[in-house]
Amino acid sequence: MYRAQIKSKAKEKIRTFKVGLLGNPNCGKSSVFNYLTGLRQKTGNFPGVTVDKKTGSFQLGSDTQIILTDFPGTYSLYPTSQDERIVAQTFTNPNDPNYSDAIIYIADVTQLEKHLLLFSQLLDLGIPLVLALNMADLAAKRGIRVKREQLEKKLGVPVICISGRTGHHIEKLKERLKSVLDKYFPTINLEKNSTNGKAKNFYTPSEQEEKIIAKVKKILPLQSDYQALLIAHHYHWLSWLNRQQKRQIAAILEQNPFDDLRAQVDETMARYNRLSPLVRKYLAKAGQGKNFTAILDNALTHPWLGPVIFFLIMLFVFQAIFSWAAYPMDWIDSAFAQLNEWLSNSLPANALTDLLIDGIVAGLGGIVIFVPQIAILFFLIGLLEEVGYLARVVYLFDGLMQRFGLGGRSIVALISGGACAIPAIMSTRTISNWKERLITILVTPFISCSARIPVYTALIAFAVPSKKIWWIFDQQGLAFMGLYLIGILAAFGSALVLKHLLKSSENTMLILELPEYRLPVLRNILYHVNAKVKAFVFQAGKIILMISVLLWAMASYGPTGAIEQARREALTLAAQQQLDQQSTDNLIAAKEIEASYAGLLGKSMEPLIKPLGYDWKIGIALVTSFAAREVFVSTMSTIYSIGSDAEPMRLKERMEKDVHPETGQPVYTTATAISLLLFYVLAMQCMSTLVVVRRETGSWKWPALQFVFMTGLAYLVSFGAYQLLS
Amino acid sequence: MRALTEIREHETASIGYFTDPAVGAKLLSMGILPGYPIVILRKTLQGDTFYIKVGDNRFAIRKKEAACIVLK
């Protein structure tokens, strides 16, 4: 009993603080975040937007628990992108769920002057701060020396030199954070007491600004004058203000007119005027060392050599997702096949077992199968990001992509989409302009992914005779390339249309920092990969599993008695024709799928798809393809009772022999095959992609729109092609 | 008075002021300040994006934004 008491007492004493991690882009924040939280981190979204919010926790001594939030890299509290707006939105509102009790500010010591701008703004917000000067290892190598103690005294906040790369002084950073928290939130009085020993304001507002601040503070309960000033600047887009509050602020600004942008520039200049002398005084710089960045960029950003190198790198990335991922994907496939076999041998044969094996386990397999592609793509993209190369990609391709309403980074997603749209769409999070990101997400699935290949193989063999034309080129190979080109054309064409249709309030500016090249930190990349895989498996995975179980049920169940009757018919027929066991099973499978709900749906779709040259059999395959495009081949094989694991070429032979029961004409003509090929290039047929699009855009509106315009376009093009050719 | 778009590559100049306040505000927040030395290191093939160096820092900037930077 005595022990229990101590325990509960200790529990009472544990205090939890929300701490924000802030800094400019490229300040090395994520390295520090990974060091502080280790694997105790999770990724979600900031409210209302799909911008990654990483949170993690760590312990400070025995009595303090820290919930650390990694905010997007930001230059200033005057935001120019969606990412930056999150920071301004959070820190102007003391009631925001992410509002921090204290802030760890990370600044790159090799670029201290500009990294201190945001720091000085945060200082004026009145939130307790710890300033961590990152890249201490790099600074030492370059002969940069910081007079830490003097700087600390001058700024009035703890200053520590750290390295997120080597972990240098991370423990010290924690100690200083604890001392700051102890000072601002004394344990004796658990009430928050943040006015205690507040540092003096860094920026002194003008007379006009003072008047506005006083009036804004009267309507809103704020922690500092600077919050009031920022609200006066940003009130029109701050979503936490209600309509009445916005009207009141607008009225204040009408009485006390101030030039928003002018004031912002004046304030920023005033801050630099104080910061620059400080940096000069407390930072001793030695001569510059050798500059690898300049040498590398001579080649990597060269007007024409740069793009060539980029395509070579992307060729490598593409190769990696396309063929290297095939090995682990095969392992996953066979592991799930073995699991299925084991389950079906050890469980009683009934409907529940069927649901478990063919519905749930198969559905899980369909999710896990994407993991290798996601992991490999994010490993390689993470690597390119860490070394600083992706910023150069933006420089090289911004101009070209801009014409299509896309951003420089979109090209990475589009090329990756050639392997699989899912990781490609997930990779668009680094596009900071929302409109550019949205268009990239919407058009990427037009790029032919690896799942379309088996379908292309089966149908090209059908539609295009294999014949050598010009030297080594085969007609079929050219047709293959043609399909890829159609996909690319559709992607850029629809991007152009969307560019004009979608409205955006965001400024489109490109002023992008090109950071120095750095050696990558493997740990950061692995954490990144881990977060992306988890996001897919556990967040998108849930919905994908539900849909795949539904699709399975549709293909396995039919109206009362229909499946049993189909089975009996098949057995009778097999007995008449004296079929062997294998052929009988195949025939049963064919008759059963025909009688299932999916079969009924395929048949009822026939009038709709007839103008495209398809019959109900293709209709069923289109329905089941929604689980994954390559399922087309196995479904068609099942329907033709040649077994679901038949080779695409056998399917082709079987399809050629199929004739209309009434007219005696072949069911599948070249026109049908071409129409179907075009349909598979253009239609949105992948539920996993739609679920990921939902996750990345935050609403079902966009995947619904994507489904309608892609499938609509596919319908029109296939219709046109079939009518023209038949 | 010349804009940044009017100087040749590798010609170092000094930043005077910014004509567009929104672009100016963004440039300031990124540490691109009046009085700093600026140089265009290279341009893309189409010539619509510049690779510039301001002090020790490198940036990519569109021609449109570069036109807002007036040199001393």
Of B21, B41, B65, the CB nearest to A262: B21
Q: What is the 3-state secondary structure (H, E, C) of A190-258?
A: CCCCCCCCCCCCCCCCCHHHHHHHHHHHHHCCCCCHHHHHHHHHHCCCCCCCCHHHHHHHHHHHHHCCC
Spatial strand order of the sheet with A129-134 comes to A41-45, A52-60, A64-70, A15-23, A102-108, A129-134, A159-161
- The pLDDT value given to residue A213: 95
Instruction: Return the CATH number of B2-71, one of 3.40.640.10, 2.30.30.90, 3.40.50.300, 3.10.450.50.
Output: 2.30.30.90
Strand positions, DSSP E, A433-519: 511-513
Name every residue in A having a CB less than 8 A away from some CB of B: 75-76, 78, 80, 111, 113-114, 117, 261-262, 264-265, 268-269, 272, 288, 293, 297, 301-304, 307, 391, 394-396, 398-400, 402, 507, 509-516
Residue B39 to chain A, least CA–CA distance (Å): 13
Residue A94 to chain B, least CA–CA distance (Å): 24
Of B24, B44, B46, the CB nearest to A265: B24
Parallel, antiparallel, or unpaired for β B49-54 and B37-43? antiparallel
Establish if B10 touches chain A: CB-CB under 8 angstroms.
no
Could you tell me the two tokens for A149?
Answer: 């103690």
Cα distance between residue A592 and residue A710, in whole Å: 31
Cα distance between residue A581 and residue A571, in whole Å: 10
Do B28 and A510 make contact, defined as CB atoms within 8 angstroms? no
Cα distance between residue A258 and residue A33, in whole Å: 39
Lowest mean pLDDT among A395-399, A523-527, B20-24, B51-55: B20-24
- The pLDDT value given to residue A205: 94
Listed in sequence order, the DSSP H helices in A370-465 are 371-387, 389-402, 410-416, 421-426, 434-443, 453-463
Q: What does each C-alpha distance from A442 to A117, A447, A593, A701, A717 come to in angstroms?
A: 37, 11, 33, 12, 19
- The pLDDT value given to residue A4: 44
| Crossing angle of the two packed helices A305-319 and A292-300, in degrees rounded to 10 | 90
Per-residue b/e over A257-269, b at no fewer than 16 CB within 10 Å? eeeeeebbbebbe
Report which secondary-structure segment, H or E, holds A133.
strand A129-134
Question: Is the ipTM, as predicted for this complex, more than 0.90?
Answer: yes
Q: Which residues of A touch B57 (CB under 8 A)?
A: 111, 114, 513
- The pLDDT value given to residue A8: 47
Cα distance between residue A590 and residue A384, in whole Å: 49
Asked whether A665 and A719 are in contact (CB, 8 A), the reply is no
Do A269 and B60 make contact, defined as CB atoms within 8 angstroms? no
pLDDT averaged per 10 residues, chain A (length 726): 46 84 94 92 84 92 93 94 91 94 95 94 95 91 90 94 93 95 76 49 92 94 93 94 95 92 92 94 73 93 96 89 87 92 91 89 89 92 93 95 93 91 93 92 94 84 78 81 94 96 80 93 93 89 89 90 91 89 87 91 93 91 87 84 72 80 78 93 94 94 97 97 92
Dump the DSSP string for A579-644: --HHHHHHHHHHHHHHHSHHHHHHHHTHHHHGGGT--HHHHHHHHHTTT-TTHHHHHHHHHTTS-T
- The pLDDT value given to residue A196: 44
Cα distance between residue A414 and residue A437, in whole Å: 11
Do B22 and A395 make contact, defined as CB atoms within 8 angstroms? no
B20 phi-psi bin (left φ>0, alpha ψ -120 to 50, beta other)? beta
Check residue A45 and report its DSSP letter: E
- The pLDDT value given to residue A459: 83
For range B50-63, the mean pLDDT:
95
Q: Which residues of B touch A513 (CB under 8 A)?
A: 30, 57-59
Do B29 and A512 make contact, defined as CB atoms within 8 angstroms? no
- Preferred mutation among A110, A509, A516, A518 to probe B, highest tally of B CBs within 10 A: A509
- The pLDDT value given to residue A209: 94
Please name the residues in contact with A687: beta carbons below 8 A apart, sequence gap of 6 or more: A544, A547, A548, A551, A626, A627
- The pLDDT value given to residue A529: 93
Could you tell me the two tokens for A267?
Answer: 């304030």
